[in-house]
Amino acid sequence: MRYFTAIPLPLAVKDRLTSLCSGVPGAKWADPDQMHITLRFFGDVDGVAATDIAEALDGVRGDPFELDLASIGYFGTGHRLHTLWVGVAESVGLQQLQGRVDRAVSSVIGTQEKRKFHAHVTLCRFKRTAPDLGGYLAQHEPFRAGPVSVNEFVLYSSHLGSERAIHTVEARYPLTL
């Protein structure tokens, strides 16, 4: 099983994001039920390590905060675009939470994340060469949604099915004042 921590999104925000999910040929659109903001991806984890991660996350503390979704962008360059996403506006609360999560689990898994954290919600992925996104971006930018109240983060397991990944909530971690 693959594991990751994320911030779940409210239904109203998922509905706004779903309105963006069309108009790009060859896109494999995200299932609204699976939309989230990943804090840390752990990859394939066995049962013992998953338990250790869950226990380490139980020690993460922080205050609730709000964030806004803002802008549409993509990962990749040229003909190698692979992911279309909605970004998250600068958020001190989100940066602090992500740092706390990363530090808590680094002792369990042995390393801190080396890639720069880029908070986003995946809209779609491209298996083949991505189409020109100029028209899509012109139609949907600027994009804003929120504020989103963040009062918990979640540990998910993920199983790759034949059509898509299936995420299961393993544990919820409330943020309290």
Cis peptide before 142 (omega within 30 of 0): yes
pTM score over 0.85: yes
pLDDT tens for the 177 residues of the chain, in order = 899 999 999 999 999 999 999 999 889 999 999 999 999 998 888 888 899 999 999 999 999 999 999 999 998 877 677 899 999 999 999 999 999 999 999 888 776 666 788 999 999 998 877 678 889 999 998 899 989 999 999 999 998 776 777 889 999 999 986
Exposed e or buried b per residue across 37-54, where buried means at least 16 C-beta atoms within 10 angstroms of its C-beta: bbbbebeebeeeebebbb
Q: What are phi and psi of 116, to 5 degrees?
A: -65, 135
Fold (topology level) of 2-174: Cyclic Phosphodiesterase; Chain: A, (3.90.1140)
Q: Determine the pLDDT at residue 111.
A: 67
Residue pair 29/124 in contact (Cβ under 8 Å)? The answer is yes
